[in-house]
Structure 1
Amino acid sequence: MKYYDCVIIGGGAAGLMCAATAGFRGRSVAVLDHANKVGKKILMSGGGRCNFTNYDVSPENFISDNPHFCISALRRYTPYDFLALVQRYDLQYHEKALGQLFCDHKSKDILDILLAECDQAGVSIQTRCTIESIEQTDKGFTLATTNGGVQCESLVVATGGLSIPTMGATGFGYQIAKQFGLPVTEREAALVPFTLSGQWLEIARSLSGVSLPVTVECGEQRFAEALLFTHRGLSGPAILQISNYWHRQEAITIDFLPGESLADLLNQWRSDGQKTTLKNRLSRHLPKRFVETWLELPSFPSGLQDKPLAEWSRADMDALCEGFHRWQIVPPGTEGYRTAEVTRGGVDTQAVSSKTFEARAVPGLYFIGEVLDVTGWLGGYNFQWAWASGHCAGQVI
């Protein structure tokens, strides 16, 4: 039976940050992970370059049934704290749109920094280690694992969510929470593409690969980023962002000409007496393949694209503006956890301290990272939550 001050289940971003932080405090720490290597989601993130944080992080970038929960940790460990860490290792990085920070080279650079920190802090990292049972004792916890028995004073659950099961994601963290009486909120795939069906699926397939800037709305939430048509439906940053807020049977509304007024353009073209076709005029503002396909929609009056602008009725113009500025659809579903970047929902934060991440009713048991009911936007926010929650828990375990 091996003894550690702290055992962390899960070797992802939050778990490794927590381990290094606790190790540098002189605590003996073990990270146990059932996969063959740690940090798999770090390696595949950001197209292999890891969008590791964002310059502009606030509680408004996160979703939770308890929206105040994330405030404390985000204030105590900011993006600039993580930047100070990576700059010590001379990590080369760059900013993309909207404050997103990426590695110049590869995601492995971030993982290497975390592993170097853990090594310097004396952390034991054990892979291919499956937890068979967990029992609470007078002195902490006893774990039966495929690597033998382990005892610890503090047990940290950093197992992540259900997204991307091919990377080893499971619901084990939720099982632990339920074992010790902590409630778990409803979970859904998030930051995930929408699937379509019927005629809309056929249209999406015909436009597969076409990308364009849009604004997309669901309820009161709105994002202005790129949309990508795929052979399954709708993807791209704008769609992934709004999926965080979407629930089944809800409609989303898309503006394909954000920042422009098609009505004003049409009136201008009419007054100019232009002879070019509507298709050619619109193709100066939108991808040609999209325009050609969209103008064939049955919701538009027949023959509209060939009718001279001078002959257009008010109803013709209204129909065109509606179809391009306020296209509304109820997606039948999403691609699910197979491609979702995160899991919305998780361990109920009402049962966890926002300062220490300790379960209120179970001394010595902690939950950090994605396993909690805290979900960030696309753009480095979920990594910043991992760094912040892992660091704050690591200071007290």
Structure 2
Amino acid sequence: MAPTHDVIVLGAGAAGLFCAGLAGQRGKRVALLDHADAPGKKILISGGGRCNFTNLHTAPDRYLSENPHFARSALSRYTPADFIALVERYGIAWHEKTLGQLFCDGSAKQIVAMLLEECRAGKVDLRCGEPVGAVEHGDGLFRVAFGAETVVAPALVIATGGPSIPKMGATGFAYELARKFGLKVVQPRPALVPLTLSGEDILFRELSGVSADVVARSGKAAFREAALFTHRGLSGPAILQVSSYWRPGESVSIDFLPDQPQDWLLAAKRERPRSAMARVLGAALPERLAGRLAESVGVAGELGQTQDKLLRVAEAKLRRWEFTPSGSEGFAKAEVTAGGISTAGLSSRTMEAKAVPGLYAIGEAVDVTGWLGGYNFQWAWASAHAAANALAEGDQGAV
């Protein structure tokens, strides 16, 4: 069967749309296929509908992978400044919210419209709303059954993401395909996901809706952002961040007093000896949380009536409040998937499979997972750019 296209891209999400548009504009005949009824669905819900499209502080050390150096090449060759230039070329207004996170002033729809326009400029053959059937490879060609048709090309790009947010149509299809072609898969797990509590810790359920600025830690990873108590456990940016590093059975610790100097409670005892612990904590934390923590550390009376030793113990606990999550809210609530197609079988320069010429994997499908705040979008753009350049140049077999 003769080729119908030069490149088949599976998955019309951030990475797939960007890769298809770039390759098409470089003269490749690209077929972009997706089982969903419309492209860019996860982009549309990202960032509260405003799309946190990149992060100014992008660096390789803000990504998790079994090979922590893998992302370096692609990220260095397509930077946040490059994507910002594209966004500005389309007249899309944006702002920095916090910690380098960039959002559209308007809507995430603007980013999807921009990517679709890039695809139109590249004459990309975009097809949605049909199931992807058998994917075969032989005689240097990939054959993909899509609906009633078979699409044929010498190159295939896996850009179908991971199983996070299945209600948006997400599946583990990328991993099935990778294994079919002999690529290893690092065990996928939910990342950037709320953590659940049980046992004594579930007593915090009564604080559902309360948030506080904290430092959350899991292993060597520490993040200073808001933590949010929920009816099932803990969420908020600080918790979502550490969830990517957390493993079942491990503990997580929270510093509820990140802005207070050491021996803060002893100083408060000297300055306000008649104040109760809950009132003192209330100066640094939401009132409901302050009251609950005061109960938990067992200091009920006035500070002036409490031994210094007990106050030191209480402060130490408030600075390193340890709990062991019972689990997470899973792929249904995970913003991204950690793990995925092993980078050991891919070129860091081209994203091409070393053992299967013409096969590429990009975006969330790959074992590269960024921090919360636009890092995963930047990986999508950078990995798509690397693959598109390789496709356009016929650059194969690079290490």
With the length of structure 1 as denominator, give the TM-score of the two structures. Answer: 0.96
User: Within the alignment, does 1:377 sit opposite 2:396 as a pair?
Assistant: no
**Residue of structure 1 in register with 2:239 after alignment:** 239
Letter paired with 2:241: Q
Distance 1:234 1:147 in 2: 46
When structure 1 is superposed on structure 2, of 1-10 and 376-385 the one drifting more is: 1-10
Alignment partners' CA distance in 2, 1:273 and 1:396: 67
Match of 1:70 in 2: 71
Letter in 1 for 2:282: S
Which of 330, 334, 344 matches 1:350? 344
Query: 2:193 is matched with which residue?
Result: 192
* 1:202 positional shift: 3.1
Matched, 1:267 2:270: no
Give the 3-state SS of the residue equivalent to 1:305 in structure 2. Answer: coil
Matched, 1:322 2:323: no
Deviation at 1:128, TM superposition (A): 1.1
Three-state SS of the structure 1 residue aligned to 2:295 is coil
Aligned amino acid, residue 103 of structure 1 = C
One-letter amino acid of the structure 2 residue matched with residue 382 of structure 1: N
Which residue of the partner structure matches residue 224 of structure 2? 224
Q: Distance in 2 between matches of 1:29 and 1:273?
A: 71
Q: Structure 2: which amino acid aligns with 1:347?
A: I
- What SS does structure 2 have at the residue aligned with 1:4? coil
Give matches, 1:2-41, under 5 Å. Answer: 3-41=4-42
TM-fit CA distance, 1:327: 0.4
The one-letter amino acid paired with 2:300 is Q
- Checking the alignment, whether the CA contact within 8 Å between 2:273 and 2:305 is kept in structure 1 is no
Q: Is residue 326 of structure 2 the alignment partner of residue 332 of structure 1?
A: yes
Per-residue deviation, 1:23: 0.4
Contact 2:273 2:304 in 1 (8 A): no
What is the distance in 2 between the residues matched to 1:269 and 1:68? 47
Letter in 1 for 2:14: A
SS at match of 1:98: coil
Structure 1 residue 122, shift from structure 2 partner:
0.3
Question: Which residue type is aligned with residue 316 of structure 1?
Answer: L
Residue equivalent to 2:395: none
Instruction: Tell me, yes or no, if the aligned pair for 2:74 and 2:348 is still in contact at 8 Å.
Output: yes
Q: Which residue of 2 aligns with 1:149?
A: 150
| Letter aligned with residue 234 of structure 2 | L
The amino acid that maps onto 1:289 is: R
State the one-letter code of the partner of 1:169. Answer: A
State the one-letter code of the partner of 1:162: P
Rounded Cα–Cα distance in structure 2 between residues aligned with 1:296 and 1:268: 20
Distance apart, 1:147 and its partner CA? 3.8
Counterpart Cα distance in 1 of 2:324 and 2:198:
10
Separation in 1 of the partners of 2:77 and 2:366?
Answer: 18
Change (3 A) 1:279 1:394: same
The one-letter code matched in structure 2 to 1:26 is G
Aligned-residue offset at 1:48: 0.6
Partner of 1:108: 109
State the partner residue of 2:396.
none
Partner-residue secondary structure (3-state), 1:47? helix
Match of 1:132 in 2: 133
Deviation at residue 391 of structure 1 after TM alignment: 1.1
Structure 1 residue runs without a partner (length 5+)? none
RMSD between superposed Cα atoms in Å: 1.3
* Corresponding residue number in structure 2 for 1:159: 160
CA apart distance, 1:150:
1.0
1:305 matched to 2:300? The reply is yes
C-alpha distance after superposition, 1:128-156 (max 9, x if no partner): 12221111121311112214111111100
Name structure 2 gaps, 5 residues minimum: 392-399
User: In structure 1, how many angstroms separate the alpha carbons of the residues matched to 2:200 and 2:294?
Assistant: 14
SS of the equivalent of 2:357 reads coil
Identity across aligned pairs (percent)?
Answer: 49
* DSSP-derived class of the 1:249 partner: coil
Q: Is the 8 A contact 2:207 2:230 kept in 1?
A: yes
Once the two structures are TM-superposed, the CA of residue 274 in structure 1 deviates from its matched residue by: 4.0
Alignment match of 1:363 (pick from 336, 339, 357): 357
